[in-house]
């Protein structure tokens, strides 16, 4: 662990394993309550100096961290592939994406502007000042174990906040590698602290109730997000949350069905479907359903599961046994209730894959509202296709969920694209675009998919307080 600028290496620990092979990768410290308290105290002590530093000083360290991350891109990607399972090419892309947040917020640090406001009184002036919210607690997920750290730490540090971060217990080694970069970049002691734990609940509860922590930022499930928000509420603690999704992917009949099917196959099986913006319900207008399914089935059947270090691997393992069980439950429930299975639908155990958590890339059609997969986020390599007839019907079906993170539209009709974009209740919508994300763009959801935004200029606003000064002259 990394507390107050020092690496801690002695104490109780827990193992980290490779989900593709089951092999032990190493072990990390299992933090005690006292150690988490020490990390919070260190962040609290470092806050005056860090928030009082110039924006240029804070930006300089983030620039250095960006440079170091890109220099270590390959080694970071290899670590991520071993610890999280995604193919090496995808891991390389994630490291670049993570570094982008450091660069973006290094620049945004110098653009935290105040303003003056005219008064009705001739002897009065109003000044608006932005300042750091205070000590930030961050909880990050395992599916994007490097970019989710920089998407939170980048704006927090740029704004002048100090932080304590708890990474997912499945991927602490990636977090350690990121903190090595921050340390090497010259981050002062106590400004950012890392605690690793095997049981996340006590730490999350402490983050929500500790009076020194003024903001909690969390990425994870909606159920856990609700729990944390309830705990934080009595102190009126600032929270931002990026939670679950249940993304619709709508293909209208004026779209090219082959092009749309290729797009679905790329985004649905990215990170083995373990992404909050992964399409979960694929709505296809009935007139082009047959050619769409034909193309998608061929592409899904060609996907090869395996160790991410093998260049031939298309999709890696699921993160653990519970994830495999959840995916298979949804698939078997859909088949039992009348869905058509085109390919996949089973756990992979041949060719050495029995040591890991692999599930075959799966395509289902004739999916209906009574099936679990229609209602619940899958977080796995299963494409569920649902036919529709009318535009109004598909918008209603797409919005028929408590989630509101991402959605996708494929159409060549500009009016239809804009109309559907405005009608869908989702925070991120790709229009003929399967990657509507960037460090420069706001990321976040509506309804049960979260609170606040990450990235873009909105991302740094989440870590700032607005202070008004009224001057009588």
Q: What is the pLDDT of residue 316?
A: 97
Distance CA 96, CA 443 (A): 17
* Pairwise CA distance, residues 365 & 176, whole Å: 42
Q: What pLDDT shows up at residue 35?
A: 98
Q: Give catalytic residues, as residue numbers.
A: 242, 276
Maximum CA extent, the chain: 81
* Tokens 């303003």 belong to residue: 115
Quickly count: other Cβ atoms within 10 Å of residue 199's Cβ.
11
Distance of CA 442 to the CA centre of its chain: 13
Within a 10 A sphere around the Cβ of 104, how many other Cβ atoms?
25
Residue numbers of the chain with a pLDDT score lower than 50: none
pLDDT at 431 (0 to 100): 98
At residue 174, the pLDDT reads: 98
Phi and psi at 241, nearest 5°, equal -140, 135
Distance of CA 252 to CAs 17, 392, 394, 410, 420, Å?
Answer: 43, 12, 10, 6, 11
Contact call for residues 287 and 325 (beta carbons, < 8 A): no
Per-residue confidence (pLDDT) for residue 108, from 0 to 100: 98
Are residues 20 and 306 in contact, defined by beta-carbon separation less than 8 angstroms?
yes
Q: How confident is the model at residue 256, as a pLDDT?
A: 97
What whole-number distance in Å separates Cα of residue 230 and Cα of residue 372?
A: 27
The full set of domains in the chain, from first to last, is 2-243+449-472 (3.40.605.10), 247-438 (3.40.309.10)
Token duo for residue 225: 């997000």
Q: 81-98, pLDDT tens digit by residue?
A: 999 999 999 999 999 999
* 247's tokens: 């993304």
Dihedrals phi, psi of 331, to nearest 5 degrees: -65, -50
CA dist 364 and 372 (Å) reads: 13
The pTM assigned to this predicted structure is: 0.96
Q: Cα angle at 211 between 206 and 214, to 5 degrees?
A: 95
Quote the pLDDT of residue 342: 98
């Amino acid at each position: 662990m990394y507390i107050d600028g020092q690496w801690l290496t002695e104490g109780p620990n827990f193992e980290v394993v490779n989900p593709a092979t089951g092999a032990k990768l190493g072990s990390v410290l299992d933090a005690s309550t006292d150690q988490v308290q020490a990390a919070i105290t260190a962040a609290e002590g470092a806050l005056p100096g860090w928030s009082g530093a110039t924006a240029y000083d804070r930006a300089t360290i983030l620039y250095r961290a960006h440079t170091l991350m890109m220099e270590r891109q390959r080694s970071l990607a290899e670590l991520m592939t071993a610890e999280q399972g995604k193919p090496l090419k995808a891991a390389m892309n994630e490291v670049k994406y993570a570094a982008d947040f450091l660069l973006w917020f290094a620049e945004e640090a110098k653009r935290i502007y105040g303003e003056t406001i005219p008064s009705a009184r001739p002897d009065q002036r109003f000044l608006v000042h932005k300042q750091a919210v205070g000590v930030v607690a961050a909880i990050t997920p395992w599916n994007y174990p490097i970019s989710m750290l920089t998407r939170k730490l980048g704006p927090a540090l740029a704004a002048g906040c100090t932080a304590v971060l708890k990474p997912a217990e499945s991927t602490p080694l990636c977090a350690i590698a990121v903190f090595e970069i921050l340390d090497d970049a010259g981050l002062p002691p106590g400004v950012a602290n890392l605690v690793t734990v095997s049981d996340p609940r006590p730490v999350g509860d402490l983050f929500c109730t500790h009076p020194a922590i003024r903001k909690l930022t969390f990425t994870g499930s909606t159920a856990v997000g609700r729990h944390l928000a309830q705990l934080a509420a009595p102190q009126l603690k600032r929270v931002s949350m990026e939670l679950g999704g249940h993304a619709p992917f709508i293909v209208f009949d004026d779209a090219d069905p082959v092009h749309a099917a290729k797009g679905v196959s790329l985004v649905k099986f990215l990170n083995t479907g373990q992404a909050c913006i992964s399409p979960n319900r694929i709505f296809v207008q009935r007139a082009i359903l047959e050619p769409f399914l034909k193309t998608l089935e061929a592409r899904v059947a060609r996907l090869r599961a395996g160790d991410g270090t093998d260049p031939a691997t298309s999709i890696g393992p699921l993160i653990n046994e519970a994830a495999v069980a959840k995916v298979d439950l949804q698939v078997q429930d859909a088949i039992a209730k009348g869905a058509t299975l085109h390919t996949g639908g089973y756990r992979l155990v041949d060719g050495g894959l029995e040591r890991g958590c692999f599930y075959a890339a799966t395509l289902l059609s004739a999916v209906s509202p009574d099936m679990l997969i229609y209602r619940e986020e899958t977080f796995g390599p299963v494409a569920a296709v649902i036919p529709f007839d009318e535009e109004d019907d598909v918008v209603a079906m797409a919005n028929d969920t408590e989630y509101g993170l991402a959605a996708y539209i494929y159409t060549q009709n500009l009016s239809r694209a804009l109309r559907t974009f405005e009608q869908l209740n989702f925070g991120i919508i790709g229009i003929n675009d399967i990657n509507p994300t960037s460090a420069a763009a706001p990321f976040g959801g509506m309804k049960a998919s979260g609170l606040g935004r990450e990235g873009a200029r909105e991302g740094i606003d989440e870590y700032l307080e607005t202070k008004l000064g009224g001057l009588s002259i």
